[in-house]
Structure 1
Amino acid sequence: MFSHPYGWIAAGGFLISLLTITVCASRVIIIAHAKRIGSNDDAEVRIRALFGLIKFKYQIPTAKLEGLAIKVQEEISTQHAAGRGTWKEYNDEINPEKVVSSIEKMKQVLQLTRDLTGWLRKTMTKVELTKWNWSTSIGTGDAMWTAMATGVVWSVQSSVLGVLSQFLQLKAEPVMTVNPLFNRSAFATEWSCIAQIRFGYAILAGLQLLHRMKKSKGGVKAWQNILSKA
């Protein structure tokens, strides 16, 4: 078979097809973790793709309230197959003006792109949630108010999971706890989750979004102009 040129072509085509199927069937894994203890915040998102050959990390180690603004320090790092990566650090400020501006830019993006929310809902249905842990401890120093606050926090945690479960595929039993601290005033919460989507679905969703962007008024350039000012 391999003595004939067509045999090598067929073998090459088979290997390329097998590699393509393997890559498309691989999973993009998203690991998120956040916690708040007192006034200290820590949040991190890690993304792995192509069997760990591609890694991405986004971290917000500090967030301090200063007047009406929030000072944040962001860390972003990426790593590829060769083991080399890039790391960037940003210092920024989130204030009411920036929040309002970001909301307006998002409205423009939604108006610009046909059925962007439909694309988002369809993409989210391909995402599998394989871990969901959320634990909160709260105390106000007063037994009655602590009991009320515990109920409110539990409702919030349950509502967030309930909304997400309408869009994502819940593949694991969620773990949620709310611990009342009746003898002191304190607040601490820690949340972690693992979500995954097949690489092929992620690529297809990206191509569909790019197609919608090109079909929108002003095309991709209009998107870039809006997001660059956000």
Structure 2
Amino acid sequence: MWILGIIVIVLLLLIMAVLLSVIRFELWIKKHGKDDEVVLNIRMLYGLIRLHYELPILKFENLKKGILIKVEKKKNIRKKENMTKETRVDKRKVDYWHEQFVKLLEATDSFLTWMKKTLSHVSIMKLDWSTNISAGDAAYTAIATGMVWSTKGSMIGWLSYHVRMRNPPNLFVVPVFDDKPQFSTEVSCIAQISCGYAIYAGLVLMVRILKVKGGIKKWKSILFKV
């Protein structure tokens, strides 16, 4: 009996440790001229599970072909699952994704309400966003700088309304008075959510899907296509 009691206590401690852990997201975006780079790191269970996504290629070709995206995915669990994939995002694919998202809304009871509540438990620990811009003319550069400031302010305002900002964001817009137009920006963001709440949110989502007739079937069909 005492051995069984020790096993139960150990299992309870492990469950508590999992629930108290956090899922940490580290996003880094850099754009300088034609060079683009996007890196996303996800850490779970105190770093025991790590996911790494990298977009070394993010290139706009033309209106017909859209954007060429190359994604490199790495896991520390099974190295054989490391993969590199290229895809194109054009208008037809965007319309297709929008159609699938609408189907998910229809297959879930109050999906947007669930999403807003889940986002409210996401904490932004760090957000640095710097931008250098030149329009090739001093007057136009000043106007462009004001527009960038306004855009950043609107985006941060929306973000602050939906998630928890633990620290004030560091925003910079530097006008470059040069004869040649140029644009560069760099974003560094660290966010996290409690693993316990993430599990709870997943269970709530499952209940909302079950409330809709055929919801599970629609979700399986859409996720399989994706």
Q: TM-score range with shorter-chain normalisation?
A: over 0.9
Structure 1 equivalent of residue 199 of structure 2: 203
SS state at 1:133 partner: strand
Offset at 1:163? 0.6
Taking the aligned partners of 2:12 and 2:155, their CA distance within structure 1 comes to 41
Structure 2 counterpart of 1:112, one-letter code: A
Q: Does 1:160 find its partner at 2:155? A: yes
Structure 1 counterpart of 2:47, one-letter code: G
Which of residues 53, 56, 71 in structure 1 aligns to 2:68? 71
Structure 2 equivalent of residue 118 of structure 1: 113
Kept in 1, the 8 Å contact 2:55–2:69? The answer is yes
Task: Name which of structure 1's ranges 207-216 and 69-78 shifts more when overlaid on structure 2.
Answer: 207-216
Kept in 2, the 8 Å contact 1:46–1:55? The answer is yes
Structure 1 equivalent of residue 10 of structure 2: 15
Taking the aligned partners of 1:55 and 1:12, their CA distance within structure 2 comes to 28
Kept in 2, the 8 Å contact 1:61–1:73? The answer is yes
Structure 1 equivalent of residue 222 of structure 2: 226
Taking the aligned partners of 2:80 and 2:200, their CA distance within structure 1 comes to 26
Offset at 1:84? 4.3
TM-score between both structures, scaled by the size of structure 1: 0.91
TM-score between both structures, scaled by the size of structure 2: 0.93
Residues 83-114 of structure 1 show CA distances to partners (whole Å, capped at 9, x for unaligned) of: 74621111111111111111111112112211
Residues 152-196 of structure 1 show CA distances to partners (whole Å, capped at 9, x for unaligned) of: 111111111111111111111210100001123210000010001
Taking the aligned partners of 2:51 and 2:210, their CA distance within structure 1 comes to 27
SS state at 2:36 partner: strand
Taking the aligned partners of 1:228 and 1:97, their CA distance within structure 2 comes to 19
Taking the aligned partners of 2:102 and 2:185, their CA distance within structure 1 comes to 32
Taking the aligned partners of 2:148 and 2:162, their CA distance within structure 1 comes to 22
Taking the aligned partners of 2:15 and 2:171, their CA distance within structure 1 comes to 39
Structure 2 counterpart of 1:195, one-letter code: A
Residues 41-81 of structure 1 show CA distances to partners (whole Å, capped at 9, x for unaligned) of: 1111110000110011122111222221111111112223x
Taking the aligned partners of 1:85 and 1:170, their CA distance within structure 2 comes to 37
Stretches of structure 2 that go unaligned for 5 or more consecutive residues are: none
Structure 2 equivalent of residue 28 of structure 1: 23
Structure 2 equivalent of residue 176 of structure 1: 171
SS state at 1:166 partner: helix
Say what the alpha-carbon RMSD is for the aligned residues. Answer: 1.6
Kept in 2, the 8 Å contact 1:77–1:85? The answer is no
Q: Does 1:107 find its partner at 2:102? A: yes
Kept in 1, the 8 Å contact 2:23–2:193? The answer is yes
- The percent of aligned pairs where both chains have the same amino acid is 36
Stretches of structure 1 that go unaligned for 5 or more consecutive residues are: none
